[in-house]
């Protein structure tokens, strides 16, 4: 499902296998377990990079699993998926270190949300797209999805195109829209760039608790919906 590697102060979380990395109960539990391990081992100077094997970063919630329950059970399973994914966003927003998504393939719906829940998003510049598919498949947005999109996509026209046109956004356009920080030629160069950025951030050796609280304060609506509280932390380095 996923692996966690540690390279000095850097943690590399990899969604493994050449599949769609659908965010069903098993993968969500695996990611949350990895994030808990990262948090428990965090030190000043730690940083997290999340990436994936194959042509998908993540193709969203595991809708085939929900559909397997039939029409009578689909809604209950869908609600379970939405609620089960929610803590991953909370885990990332409260992680005491900088976080970077190295998006090496398509990121759709909840996969898009997984990417933008990191502090930085780097993306492979090929046919890969960011895509909020809900409008096309006939679903409304979960409240915390909506809040995160509003928080991370500041330009109204860009936000409209993502949410009300279900636009499939490639890397270079995502950079222009302010969703992605940089575009790269291959999956390998995307991860390499993420490692370089992580090393730069790691070198600052910020207090992780302070970092996490500042991040949470940047996303008050999202954190309110996730049940995350914000508090003042004083850890002077003078």
Average pLDDT estimate for 179-185: 97
Per residue in 18-50, pLDDT (tens digit) is: 899 999 999 999 999 999 999 999 999 999 999
User: Can you list the pairs that 150-157 forms with residues at least 24 positions away whose Cβ atoms lie under 8 Å?
Assistant: 150/221, 151/218, 151/219, 151/221, 151/222, 152/116, 152/179, 153/177, 153/178, 153/179, 154/178
Distance from C-alpha of 104 to C-alpha of 191, rounded to nearest angstrom: 8
pLDDT at 186: 95
Check pLDDT > 80 for residue 235. no
Q: For residue 89, what pLDDT band results from cuts at 50, 70 and 90?
A: very high
Average pLDDT estimate for 211-225: 96
Phi, psi of 121, deg, nearest 5: -125, 120
Q: pTM of the predicted model, to two decimals?
A: 0.96
Task: Quote the percentage of the chain above a pLDDT of 90.
Answer: 94
Neighbour order of strands in the sheet with 106-108: 56-58, 106-108, 130-131
Q: For residue 122, what pLDDT band results from cuts at 50, 70 and 90?
A: very high
HSE, CB side, 13 Å, CA atoms: give it for residue 29: 3
pLDDT at 124: 97
Annotate 111-169 with three-state secondary structure. HHHHHHCCCEEEEECCCCCEECCHHHHCCCCCHHHHHHHHHHCCCHHHHHHHHHCCCCE
Structural domains of the chain ordered from first start: 2-226 (3.90.226.10)
Distance from C-alpha of 116 to C-alpha of 55, rounded to nearest angstrom: 18
Average pLDDT estimate for 141-165: 97
Distance from C-alpha of 100 to C-alpha of 117, rounded to nearest angstrom: 9
pLDDT at 159: 97
Check pLDDT > 80 for residue 91. yes
pLDDT at 238: 58
Q: How far does the chain reach from its first CA to its final CA, in angstroms?
A: 43
Residue 73, token pair as written in the block: 């059970």
Closest CA to 209 of 187, 192, 184, 234: 234
């Amino acid at each position: 499902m996923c692996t966690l590697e540690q390279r000095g102060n850097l943690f590399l979380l990899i969604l493994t296998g050449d599949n769609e990395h659908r965010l069903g109960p098993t993968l969500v539990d695996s990611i949350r377990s990895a994030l808990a391990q990262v948090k428990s081992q965090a030190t000043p100077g730690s940083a997290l990079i999340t990436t994936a094997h194959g042509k998908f970063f993540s193709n969203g919630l595991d809708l085939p699993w929900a559909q397997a329950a039939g029409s009578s059970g689909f809604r209950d399973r869908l609600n379970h998926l939405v609620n089960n994914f929610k803590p991953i966003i909370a885990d990332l927003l409260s992680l005491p270190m900088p976080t970077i998504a190295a998006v090496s393939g398509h990121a759709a719906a909840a996969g898009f949300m997984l990417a933008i829940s990191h502090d930085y998003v780097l993306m492979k510049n090929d046919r890969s797209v960011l895509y909020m598919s809900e409008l096309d498949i006939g679903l409304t947005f979960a409240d915390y999805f909506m809040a995160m999109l509003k928080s991370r996509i500041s330009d109204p026209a860009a936000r409209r195109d993502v949410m009300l046109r279900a636009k499939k956004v490639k890397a270079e356009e995502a950079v222009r829209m302010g969703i992605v920080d940089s575009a790269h030629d291959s999956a390998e160069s995307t991860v390499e760039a993420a490692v370089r950025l992580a090393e730069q951030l790691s070198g600052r050796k910020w207090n992780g608790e302070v970092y996490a609280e500042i991040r949470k304060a940047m996303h008050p609506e999202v954190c309110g919906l996730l049940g995350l509280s914000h508090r003042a932390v004083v850890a002077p380095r003078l």
